[in-house]
């Protein structure tokens, strides 16, 4: 039912490109964790919209596409207010799920708070 995997490129916190196959239906958070792209302090609330450490930055057109399946929630807005390096095309990785429309996108993981 989940259909074909899609190709996604992450730019990790060190600025390196990491190409992965993402399962439609999975959140960006789950995909980052499953592929061990960021482990240190990424998504520490486990997708509860309570930490903002899963902050990601999208390309503007991609940002608009994510709003179709996963519209803004008030909690997401509030959490992002606290995230460092937030942009107009920022979202929380736990609030956005892959769809086949997101084939080929690039997702930037900005520097986060120091969680140590
Ligand atoms: Fe904490 Fe997304 S994992 S807000």
pLDDT at 90 over 90: yes
pLDDT band at 112 (very low <50, low <70, confident <90, very high): confident
| Shortest-distance atom of ligand 1 to CA 42 | 3
pTM above 0.90, yes or no: yes
Q: How many CA atoms lie within 13 A of 106 on its CB side?
A: 10
pLDDT band at 27 (very low <50, low <70, confident <90, very high): very high
ipTM of the complex in this document: 0.99
Q: What is the pLDDT of residue 22?
A: 97
Mean pLDDT of 42-47: 96
- Around ligand 1, the residues with Cβ closer than 6 Å are 29, 43, 45, 47-54, 79, 92-94
CA–centroid distance, 29 to ligand 1, in Å, is 8
CA–centroid distance, 15 to ligand 1, in Å, is 21
């Amino acid at each position: 039912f989940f259909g074909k995997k899609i190709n996604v490129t992450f730019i990790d916190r060190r600025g390196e490109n990491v190409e992965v196959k993402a399962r439609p239906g999975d959140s960006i958070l789950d995909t980052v964790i499953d592929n061990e792209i960021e482990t240190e302090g990424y998504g520490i609330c486990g997708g509860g919209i309570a930490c903002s450490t899963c902050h990601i930055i999208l390309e503007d057109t991609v940002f608009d596409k994510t709003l179709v399946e996963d519209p803004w929630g008030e909690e997401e807005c509030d959490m992002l207010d606290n995230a460092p390096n937030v942009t107009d095309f920022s979202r929380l990785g736990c609030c956005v799920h892959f769809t086949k429309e997101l084939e080929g996108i690039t997702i930037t993981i900005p520097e986060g708070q120091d969680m140590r």
